[in-house]
Amino acid sequence: MIVTESQGVKHLLKIAVPYLLFSCIYAGIILGIEEFAGDQIYQIPTQIGSVFGLAIAFFLGFRMNSAYDRWWEARKIFGELTNNTRSFVTKIYVYYGNENNVTNSSDGPTGQKASDLISLTIEYVRQLKREMHNQKEPSFEEETVAFFSKYGINLKNKVSNELLVAITQIIEGDFSPKAGLEKNDLMQHMNRFYEIQGKAERIKNTPFLMIYSAFTRIIVTVYILLIPLFIGDIDLGGEKSNLELLAIPIMVIISTVFLTVNKLANLFGEPFSESATSVSIDQICQTIENNCLEIKQKTIGLNS
């Protein structure tokens, strides 16, 4: 994740420099031709060029705006995962700690049960992260596979769904009929896990306006190719001075700005890719795991 503006500058340069170089070369060639072929061969009224340029700027502005909204929506989803996991795990610890809530079964001490549930929750968060990274069928460690099979998780089905079903089932089985409200409370958390996962998958699987993205890319490119025509009269008043070269930076800068905004919109429109601009889900999931482990630690006290 990009945390400071200087990191931002660094990544920005990575994106912008190729555009800059391309624009420089193109501007050089065009000016060269003009110089060679005689002055003032290009003359298109600049007014229409400025309508074109501003229309593009406007469309890019809206697109960047939508891309950022999409990025922030993606960030919010993983924020919700944090909140929901934290409160779910706290509830697990607290509810299992009250013996009135749990059925007296021979399955083992309640501390172990709570601990297992928290472990499954951690596995779920990990699996969700993997699925966001397209690692849908990871090779689990033997220990994990054993743990999963204990709770009937079918690795051939979608593992994240299987984990949620398993957690739901454990909760349904463990809570005594008297503890209906506590169970119901946890079930609402399950709903939220399903919602969070669905939202994340929605953003991941629905590309961001690919046809519009193609559209802006093409019109930006066309605009850039036409810029020399729009500013072709640059040496009109230049009176044989060599200041025509001033045309190069201005062409280069405008081109680079538009290409870069378009690229940034593409990047923010893919919040779950693994680039520097994407939502830092690895880091968020690590924080969630740490929070879970702090609570899991406490469940040991419940065994006694």
- Rounded-to-10 torsion of CA 62, 68, 69, 75: 170
Report if residue 221 touches its own copies, rule: CB under 8 A.
no
19 closest CA partner among 282, 261, 270, 265: 261
CB of 123 to its own copies, least distance (A): 17
Candidates 107-115, 122-130, 135-143, 223-231 — which segment interacts with its own copies by CB under 8 A? 223-231
Report how far residue 121's alpha carbon sits from residue 26's, in angstroms, rounded to the nearest whole number. 55
Q: Which is nearer to its own copies, 91 or 130 (CB)?
A: 91
Report if residue 18 touches its own copies, rule: CB under 8 A.
no
Candidates 110-118, 124-132, 133-141, 218-226 — which segment interacts with its own copies by CB under 8 A? 218-226
CB of 128 to its own copies, least distance (A): 14
Total residues interacting with its own copies, rule: CB under 8 A: 128
Q: Which two tokens stand for residue 181?
A: 């409200």
Q: Which is nearer to its own copies, 143 or 207 (CB)?
A: 207
Q: Exactly one of 25, 29, 33, 41 binds its own copies (CB under 8 A); which one?
A: 41
Q: Which is nearer to its own copies, 97 or 138 (CB)?
A: 97
Candidates 105-113, 116-124, 135-143, 195-203 — which segment interacts with its own copies by CB under 8 A? 195-203
Candidates 9-17, 21-29, 114-122, 142-150 — which segment interacts with its own copies by CB under 8 A? 9-17
Q: Which is nearer to its own copies, 133 or 204 (CB)?
A: 204
Of residues 72-91, which lie at the interface with its own copies (CB under 8 A)? 75-76, 79-80, 82-84, 86-87, 90-91
Report how far residue 280's alpha carbon sits from residue 274's, in angstroms, rounded to the nearest whole number. 8
Of residues 280-299, which lie at the interface with its own copies (CB under 8 A)? 291, 294-295, 298
Report if residue 181 touches its own copies, rule: CB under 8 A.
yes
